[in-house]
Amino acid sequence: MKNLFKYLSLIFTLLFIWAAYVQYNDPDALLWYAIYGVAAAASLFFYLGKLNFTGAIILSGIYFVGTFILWPDKFEGVTIGNGDIVNIERGRESLGLLIVAMVMLIYALRLRLANKSKV
């Protein structure tokens, strides 16, 4: 089970790097580079055994707060052409933050369970 989480964290490291890369044409690309870059670094730290529970839970909380701040007033999906482009873009951004928040929460829970099993 330990190896499963290690390999998943390596996969998420690559996915978050890819998510940062595809932000190159976004008007606020530097912000999203930082958001996904921190997520990629945290995933790499988890893989290397350097991420602690507190760091993972703080990151999860920050990403959850970001999800709720960016959530559009009216969620219209993520497909362009199905509604107001601003709502769709905010919906996409908030869902991206939600994915990161959930991954960080899974890391935190895994770290907590791993620490309890050592006691």
Q: Domain residues for 50?
A: 2-118
Question: Structurally, how many domains does the chain consist of?
Answer: 1
Question: d(Cα 98, Cα 10) in Å, to the nearest integer?
Answer: 19
Give per-residue pLDDT as tens, 91-105. Answer: 899 999 999 999 999
33 — pLDDT class (breaks 50, 70, 90)? very high
Q: 44 with 13: CB under 8 angstroms?
A: yes
Q: 95 with 103: CB under 8 angstroms?
A: no
Give per-residue pLDDT as tens, 44-62. Answer: 999 999 999 999 999 999 9
Does the predicted model carry a pTM greater than 0.85? yes
Torsion angle, alpha carbons of 88, 89, 94, 96, to 10: 110
